[in-house]
Amino acid sequence: MIEYVKGQLAELTPTSAVIETAGGVGYYLNITVPTFEALQGQREAKLLVHEAIREDAWVLYGFIDDRERSLFRELIGVSGVGAATARIILSSISAPELEMVISQGQEARLKNVKGIGQKTAQRIIVDLKGKIKPIGDALIGKSLPSSEAYEEALAALVMLGFPKPASQKALKKLFEAEPAIKVETAIKKALTML
């Protein structure tokens, strides 16, 4: 089993990455949008891997962190949810938000994902509600007045070229300390932290 692939980022698209290892071998990994965003502007990368070995193919899925990979593995364990569907879900809903959606039984939020019907959304929630608990990132998924400001500030930092995980971490600290912080102030303070 391959645990992770580390090396030079040879190619990057919103759905895939090719990482060339020290031995000169390039690994093609299917990725999610959050992983793509985290890899933008990087020369080297380390992606955690999930292998899917089938009769007709050997497919690798790459994830920026174990949280995303664990959710992917839980999703593909649900009857009727394949790897492609799990990848679409994780590309449409961030890992912290998906944890909240499942733990709170927000079926409607899952149904908004392309290709997810009511039965599949219900099955995901029923199968995973007891297994998945939200950890950290408490702002995401809650209907706090500042969550809209949080999302705007995060989008601005990512557009400025800062990695999404680092930006999330900085903004999380700021919004926890001062929930009513304005977007502009949050961005300025986060820039000093990044």
Residue 70 in any domain: the answer is yes
Dist. CA 28–CA 5, nearest whole Å: 10
50 and 70 fall within a common domain: no
| Integer Cα distance of 25 and 13 in angstroms | 19
36 is in which domain, residue-wise?
4-63
Q: Are residues 78 and 106 located together in one domain of the fold?
A: yes
User: Does residue 134 fall inside a structural domain?
Assistant: no
Lookup result for tokens 């990482």: 19
pLDDT score at 122:
94
Per-residue pLDDT of the chain (194 residues; tens, 9 = 90+): 899 999 999 999 999 999 999 889 999 999 999 999 999 999 999 999 999 998 999 999 999 999 999 999 999 999 999 999 999 999 989 899 899 899 889 898 999 888 899 999 999 999 998 888 776 544 444 433 346 778 888 888 887 788 888 888 888 888 888 878 888 888 888 888 87
State whether 74 and 121 are in the same domain.
Answer: yes
> How many domains is the chain built from?
3
CA distance 87 to 73: 10
Q: Which residue matches tokens 């020290």? A: 22
Residue 16 lies in a domain: yes
Q: Write down the pLDDT at residue 173.
A: 87
Residue 50: Cβ within 10 Å count:
22
CB 61 within 8 A of CB 4: no
Rounded distance between C-alpha atoms, residue 16 and residue 3, angstroms: 18
